[in-house]
Structure 1
Amino acid sequence: MNNIEVIEGQMAPDFSLMGSDNKSHSLSDYRGSNIVLYFYPKDNTPGCTLEAQDFRDNIEKFKELNTVVLGVSRDSLSSHEKFITKQCLPFILLSDDNEEVCNLYGVLKEKTLYGKKHIGIERSTFIIDTEGVLRRAYRKVKVDGHVEHIIEYLRSL
């Protein structure tokens, strides 16, 4: 676990990960668009499903704001495919199974589940502007109202 602190106002760390469309995706591929890069713990779990559905249900607003939504978890591409199909998700999910990008963005945290400690993804969202600059970092995200806050923030850019 590597606690790197990404800093608002600086260039967002670039990366390449395989996506649910079986293509490699880099942040730099999306220059000219805003990016919502959201990290979530696990496909098909209650909170992650609600969050993905909220992004799905607001995808047209994101498009109007010249914004691409990319989800990242440590799940496999096959898990992502099932999640996308089940939830009709209209955006790419990236597989960070080796935790490289999770470490770049400092989202891996010690968690306790049923009394056992483990390392997991802390639900986090990063807003990256058209030039690749990190504009906003949301940590310890609560799902309710989060997507609406992101849309409001994007409208203010």
Structure 2
Amino acid sequence: MALKVGDKIPNFKTKDHQGKDFDSQKWVGQKPLVIYFYPKDNTPGCTAQACSFRDQYEDFTDLGAEVIGISSDSEQSHQKFIAEYRLPFILLSDHNKIIRKLFGVKNDYLGLISGRTTYVVDKSGVIAFIFDSTSAVTHIPKALEAIKNLI
């Protein structure tokens, strides 16, 4: 069942792009989060989305928020993706798609491609906004507007 606005994000643990343990509970209560699920590193749409978040990352951090990207790619793939495009935010590996299932992110294109969904989460871990669209670059202005509405 998909999470909806007003739900608290589930607790999850995984590895970040540096191979370090990531625990969602360490972030809840610290700052608002923009958690975006995307299909795959180094594909045209996902690269455009990541670079758009990169280009406006300071706008998010100036408002006190952190951006976190999640895909099923490996830590090594994320490291290369970050290095090639100078991405300043966290990328998490969801190898077995457990986190995607916890959030209820649906697949696109007849179930063939992992879905692209962005969640804006307030400081207490409650989902304030959800945007689900295959149009990669439209997620950034929607997420930024939602963060501004939290402040």
TM-score by length of 2: 0.92
Which residue identity lines up with residue 154 of structure 1 in the other structure? I
Cα-to-partner distance string for 1:112-147 (whole Å, 9 max, x where unaligned) = 5xxxx63x3111000111001111111124223321
Residue deviations 1:47-100 (CA, integer Å, cap 9, x gap): 000000011111111111111111000111111111011000001110000110
As a proportion of its length, which structure holds more strand? 1
1:22 aligns with 2:15: no
Structure 1 residues not aligned, in runs of 5+? none
- SS of the residue 1:18 aligns to: strand
**Contact 2:105 2:115 (8 Å CA) reproduced:** yes
Q: Give 1:1-157 correspondences, 5 Å limit.
A: 4-30=1-27, 31-109=29-107, 111-112=109-110, 118=112, 120-157=113-150
Change (3 A) 1:156 1:74: same
* Cα separation, 2, equivalents of 1:61 and 1:141: 23
Please provide the CA RMSD for this pair.
Answer: 1.4
Q: Distance in 2 between matches of 1:85 and 1:108?
A: 29
Greater Cα shift, 99-108 or 48-57: 99-108
* 1:61 counterpart letter in structure 2: D
Residue aligned with 1:70, SS: strand
Report SS of the residue matched to 2:143: helix
Q: Hey, which bits of structure 1, 4+ residues long, moved more than 4 A?
A: none
Quote the sequence identity (%): 36
Q: Distance in 2 between matches of 1:82 and 1:110?
A: 25
Distance in 1 between residues matched to 2:80 and 2:106, nearest whole Å: 24
1:101 partner SS: helix
SS at match of 1:84: helix
Alpha carbons of 1:84 and 1:32: their partners in 2 closer, same or farther (altered >3 Å)? same
Equivalent pair of 1:128/1:134 in contact (CA under 8 Å)? yes
Aligned residues: 149
Contact 1:21 1:92 in 2 (8 A): no
